Amino acid sequence: MSNSSRKFKDAAYEQVARIGKAVSAPKRLELLDLLCQGPRTVEALAQQAALSVANASQHLQILRAARLVEAEKKGLYVEYRVADEQVCGLFTSLRSLAEARLTEMAQITRTYLTERAAMEPVEGDDLMRRVRAGEVTVLDVRPVEEYRAGHIPGAVSIPLAELKKRIAELPKRRAIVAYCRGPYCVMAIDAVEVLRKRGFRAQRMEQGVLDWRARGWRLEKGTEAAP
């Protein structure tokens, strides 16, 4: 191999490695997961990722230097968003690879769900088919700003924090499928517990909007749909 070819390969792989380095921290992956749900301020990201504002800002600067996120000043706050949908695809691919290759992933999930008494059969593709076909009431329990940024078509928005006081808005004769941010989000588990205690037929869907989009399925944007 010529010296010029070697320099080319080294330079190319170095740039690819920039992406790997940027996503090498667990908290930065969590921040990307949150931003794939919708744009957020540094303060909101810090709160939801259990970070100080200073630490969240440092992580975001690293992601921004790798061109994975973008920032925009809005009044007194700085709002971040993913630079491109490919960024969310990268996160989804990393998550899927970890689940496929690392047995620790399954163990961590199993332990948590057993503690929460939430180990129940997940219907996977069949459940998503029923959701797409409109055979169930789909409940989005994420914060409303995430719902507005993108949600499963036909989903009703009732954030988890409002569920108990708004539960009468949901039809009791129809099965309910609750979802949130994906397999590592526990809001849907909490929502199902609340609904079942009130006599609803409720089930959690592991998949979120990232999984929906990854299949090439359409998402809706806009204000809350009425139950």
| Overall CATH class of domain 3-87 | mainly alpha
Q: Is 185 a catalytic residue?
A: no
- pLDDT score, position 119: 46
pTM (two decimals): 0.85
All structural domains of the chain with their residue ranges = 3-87, 119-214
- The fold for domain 119-214 equals Oxidized Rhodanese; domain 1 (3.40.250)
The residue from 36, 88, 180, 185 that is catalytic is 180
CA distance 131 to 32: 26
- pLDDT score, position 1: 73
Closest CA to 48 of 62, 63, 64, 36: 36
End-to-end CA distance of the chain: 65
- pLDDT score, position 75: 87
Asked if the domains at 3-87 and 119-214 fall in one CATH topology, the answer is no
pLDDT, one tens digit for every residue, the chain (227 residues) = 778 889 999 999 999 999 999 999 999 999 999 999 999 999 999 999 999 999 999 999 999 999 999 999 988 899 999 999 999 999 999 999 999 999 998 888 878 776 665 545 456 678 888 888 888 999 999 999 999 999 999 999 999 999 999 999 999 899 999 999 998 888 999 999 999 999 999 999 988 999 999 889 999 987 765 55
Closest CA to 180 of 25, 10, 37: 37
Are the C-beta atoms of 187 and 160 separated by less than 8 Å?
A: yes
